[in-house]
Chains A and B, each alone.
Chain A
């Protein structure tokens, strides 16, 4: 099967099944909503403090959401006995990874785009002027998180205690994403000129490129078992 067509079909399959049962996106969304609620109780929310801690709250919520959503990415394939079909699929195995990754990236981005207005609502933020830079930061950071998360989802889905192992493996290695995303979001929310935080976006882009390439190459070894 043609490489790009395979990627498109796998991503399309995930999006379509999600559209039909809305399991993943809704659980990610309501989980993030709970995290936001807990944060609003945990900190004193005067305007100065909000500015300081908001980027952290946003990315902790997104990070937890990623754990919920990405961790289940390959579980559906195992539950439906589809891993064997992936293993015997005539075509490059890396394309399966890219298809799953694309689906996960779009899910995550969708949830983040729905969540941003809620942050505005609950924490009284004004982000309209900064909507484009924030979208860019979210996209670049979510790209890297989905790249690593999809790979670890495939790796942990076949082992015992997968719910525990997925965050234990994912979180330490995604530290650069969280640092870059929090710092760039802080810059965007404070209304700083783009050049003052663009180096964080460059760092996130480097991370994205490296991990998509490495995961694409290494995925075949995971699927062999």
Chain B
């Protein structure tokens, strides 16, 4: 598929993703902050979870997108796929930072500490550092193809390492509460599950929308850079 056709598809459908994300997040925030009841143990603090958990889930979704786009890039060498990788990495960093900050705000009243060295927190902190390294690596490389290839390699290595990091920190120490929704079933009150589900899908779709817009923006920047480069080389001649 050519980049122009791909951009055309993105432009055609992006607004629908934006609208659905807006509706779901508005409904999620309303049910989460207004209609749902406070938690028996955690009280009103539990409401931060309606933002924290979707952010953390979407960070994982963004990192998975980065991983699959990186493999796709190494396979097909499409410039626009590299733009999607760059966009996914920036968004993964944004959602990881959001997850860490909201987690710290929730942790202070619940665990009486802003930060604890718990497996999931530590894994997320390491993911944050890896993403910062990824974006730094991109800024230090001028050659477009070399930048895309090296960044893809780093993303793949980082993604493969993530479960091992999580596993090693889990063995090292564990404090986090068990997952509320897992393959073993749901252990959460129904009036809390509704805002959770709305927010999770809403933020996930918001990420898709942001990815579509940001990929186009980066592709245009890439085209502009290429044109400027051509004009400059013509001027030098």
Question: A225 at interface (Cβ–Cβ under 8 A)?
Answer: yes
* CB contact under 8 A between A173 and B137, given known A221-B149, A224-B149: no
Q: In the complex, which residue of chain A has the Cβ closest to the Cβ of B166?
A: A176
- Contact-residue bracket for chain B: 20 to 34
**Binary flags per residue of B134-171, CB closer than 8 Å to A gives 1, else 0:** 00110011110110011011101110110011011101
A169/B154 in contact, CB under 8 A: yes
User: Interface with A: B40-48, B125-133, B195-203, B222-230, which one?
Assistant: B125-133
Question: A210 at interface (Cβ–Cβ under 8 A)?
Answer: yes
Q: How many pairs, one residue from A and one from B, have CB atoms within 8 Å of each other in the complex?
A: 85
**Contact residues in B for A199 (Cβ distance below 8 Å):** 171
Q: In the complex, which residue of chain B has the Cβ closest to the Cβ of A199?
A: B171
* Minimum CB–CB distance for A67 against chain B, Å: 14
**Binary flags per residue of A162-189, CB closer than 8 Å to B gives 1, else 0:** 0001001101110110011001000000
CA distance A171 to B172 in the complex (A): 18
* Minimum CB–CB distance for A57 against chain B, Å: 18
Question: A161 at interface (Cβ–Cβ under 8 A)?
Answer: yes
Q: In the complex, which residue of chain B has the Cβ closest to the Cβ of A148?
A: B157
Question: B60 at interface (Cβ–Cβ under 8 A)?
Answer: no
- Contact-residue bracket for chain A: 20 to 34
* CB contact under 8 A between A159 and B133, given known A179-B169, A210-B164: no
**Contact residues in B for A155 (Cβ distance below 8 Å):** 150, 153-154
Can you list 10 pairs linking A and B with CB atoms under 8 Å apart? A158-B150, A165-B133, A165-B137, A168-B129, A173-B157, A179-B169, A203-B164, A203-B167, A225-B145, A225-B150
